[in-house]
Amino acid sequence: MSATNNGTVLREVPVQDAIGLRLAHDLTQILPGQFKGRLFKKGHLITEADIPRLLDIGKEHIYTMELGAGELHEDDAASRMAESLFGEGMRLTEPHEGKVAIKSDLNVPALAVIDEAVVHAINNLGEIALATLRSHTVVMPDGQLAATRVIPLFVAEEKVDHVRAIADQYRQSSGGCGPLRLLPLRAFRIGLLSTGGEVFSGRIADKFGPAVRRIVESLGSEVVEQRFAPDDRHIIVKEIHYLLNQQYDMILVTGGMSVDPDDRTPAAIQEAGAEVVSYGTPMLPGSMLLVGYLNGVPIMGLPGCVMHDPYTSFNVLLPRVLAGEVITREDIVRMGYGGLHNC
């Protein structure tokens, strides 16, 4: 038997003597390659039939627990932490093995916006854990963006109160926004212009169109129209203006984004009147991507890697645009840290 300063009492009981007692915490079973999960739930009343199953998972002793003043069981603490952090468009799972997941309750993909400093401040408290996705990660419907957990079996209530205080302080300083947010992705109608004489002439099949469609459709948007142009700056400008006049939510231009003399796309996008935020990103693959705005409409020049690499700068920036964020030069600069993928 052991006790804490606040009076919580843990009793270690041989499993054969545990019949009629209730478990103090969830017990996990692991069958490699078959199953990992909860075998018995906290509060389970142990019967004689349970003894062989407890021994099978290596439990020759179990804990019973009486909480002292000011202390919380791991499940209750994890739930309270999650309740203080989650926000609009989210739901909480029931405690499971001392963990609570924060998941999307939206029926469309969303962008997770997470304050990194808050996550670090909470984890710095000790004995508790907050795990999250990286900010600006796409979360699909019912996808998980964060989870809370308490490391020991019980924890001081004041520590959990401190988590709420950190979250509340963030809300006060950010105009009511919580440290965890989900921004639903809008369904954009997109105009696509594919440049290159080899595709325009039919010499080779277009592979950019199917790749771009696959990416945008996975996020709930649609390429409504695709047009083709040779490596002629004036024709490319004319086609960009055509797509702008169709009032599409975004214009994507593929091909001709390198430094070769035949590649006219970056200059054509500028000549069309776009305000270029950046031609080039510090991310690999995707360093030759151009992002800008033409009369307020997002426009991107996509490098060739979008056709064949599974994750490029386009995959990073597209969801942010669909979520309504305006891309800035600083956003581009920050893409270099952690921006090396499959190279």
Can you give the pTM of this predicted structure?
0.85
d(CA 314, CA 212): 10
Name residue 199's amino acid.
Answer: V
To which residue do tokens 């603490």 refer?
A: 77
Superfamily of domain 71-184: Pyrimidine nucleoside phosphorylase-like, C-terminal domain (3.90.1170.30)
Task: Please check whether the two domains, 2-66 and 189-336, share a CATH topology.
Answer: no
The answer to whether 82 and 102 have CB atoms below 8 angstroms apart is yes
Domain ranges of the chain: 2-66, 71-184, 189-336
pLDDT recorded at residue 6: 57
The answer to whether 148 and 81 have CB atoms below 8 angstroms apart is yes
Give the containing element (helix H, strand E) for 212: helix 208-218
| Peptide bond before residue 310 is cis, with ω within 30 degrees of 0 | no
pLDDT recorded at residue 11: 79
d(CA 96, CA 90): 18
List, for the chain, all residue ranges whose pLDDT scores fall below the cut of 70: 1-10, 65-66, 259-263, 343
pLDDT recorded at residue 43: 75
pLDDT recorded at residue 5: 53
In this structure, which CATH number among 1.20.1290.10, 3.40.1190.20, 3.40.50.150, 3.90.105.10 belongs to the domain 2-66?
3.90.105.10
pLDDT recorded at residue 44: 79
d(CA 168, CA 125): 16
Residue-wise pLDDT for 66-104, tens only, equals: 677 898 988 899 999 999 999 999 999 999 878 999 999
Long-range Cβ contacts of 125-133 (<8 Å, 24+ apart): 125/159, 125/162, 125/163, 126/159, 127/151, 127/152, 127/155, 127/159, 128/77, 128/81, 128/155, 128/159, 128/160, 128/163, 130/81, 130/85, 130/163, 132/180
Name residue 174's amino acid.
Answer: S
pLDDT recorded at residue 18: 81
d(CA 300, CA 165): 42
- Annotation: CATH topology of 189-336: Molybdenum Cofactor Biosythetic Enzyme; Chain A (3.40.980)
Name residue 218's amino acid.
Answer: S
Bridge-based pairing of strands 9-14 and 61-66 is antiparallel
d(CA 63, CA 229): 72
Residue-wise pLDDT for 196-241, tens only, equals: 888 888 899 999 999 999 999 999 999 999 999 999 999 999 999 9
Per this entry, what is the length of the chain? Answer: 343
CA atoms 48, 49, 52, 53: torsion sign: negative
